[in-house]
């Protein structure tokens, strides 16, 4: 997600089933930095939740092959075909309501930025049966760890 001030960018990661969104401010769009942020974000997830990542053709994704170490297959959209990654395009459009292109990211505090991501992930969606992306993500992805840890408490 690019902004009009030079060097101000946000890396957005979008999980397509739950529509959950992660956002990171970028100090630069260098491929090494972007790949390490993506890798650290995804390595915490169960393998079933991090099978593939689809990128656009920006140079910031040149180190995509680093993700192969985590068992993640990487793909690229065709040039000038944003509909091939429509979920993230929609998410960025929703975030633009609160972070227009002319926003100076330096004026947005970290807690305010995080609150915007939390707000996005806690907004119910009709396509999710009026559940929030956070609810669907937690149920579909993270429940595997919870179920295998301890038996349910006596009720």
Q: What is the pLDDT of residues 20-37, one digit of tens each?
A: 999 999 999 999 999 999
* Interval 64-80: pLDDT, tens: 999 999 999 999 999 99
Domains of the chain: 9-149 (3.30.420.10)
12: left (phi over 0), alpha (psi -120 to 50) or beta: beta
Predicted TM-score (pTM) of this structure: 0.85
């Amino acid at each position: 997600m690019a902004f009009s001030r030079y060097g101000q960018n946000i890396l957005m990661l979008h999980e397509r089933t739950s529509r959950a969104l992660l956002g990171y401010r970028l100090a630069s769009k260098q491929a090494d930095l972007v790949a390490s942020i993506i890798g650290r974000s995804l390595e915490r997830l169960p393998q079933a939740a991090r099978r593939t990542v689809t990128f656009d053709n920006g140079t910031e994704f040149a180190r995509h092959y680093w993700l192969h170490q985590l068992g993640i297959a990487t793909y690229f959209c065709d040039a000038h075909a944003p509909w091939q990654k429509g979920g993230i395009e929609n998410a960025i459009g929703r975030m633009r309501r609160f972070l227009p292109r002319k926003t100076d990211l330096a004026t947005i505090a970290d807690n305010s930025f995080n609150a915007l991501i939390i707000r996005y992930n806690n907004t119910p969606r009709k396509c999710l049966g009026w559940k929030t992306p956070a609810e669907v993500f937690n149920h579909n992805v993270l429940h595997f760890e919870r179920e295998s840890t301890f038996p349910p408490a006596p009720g």
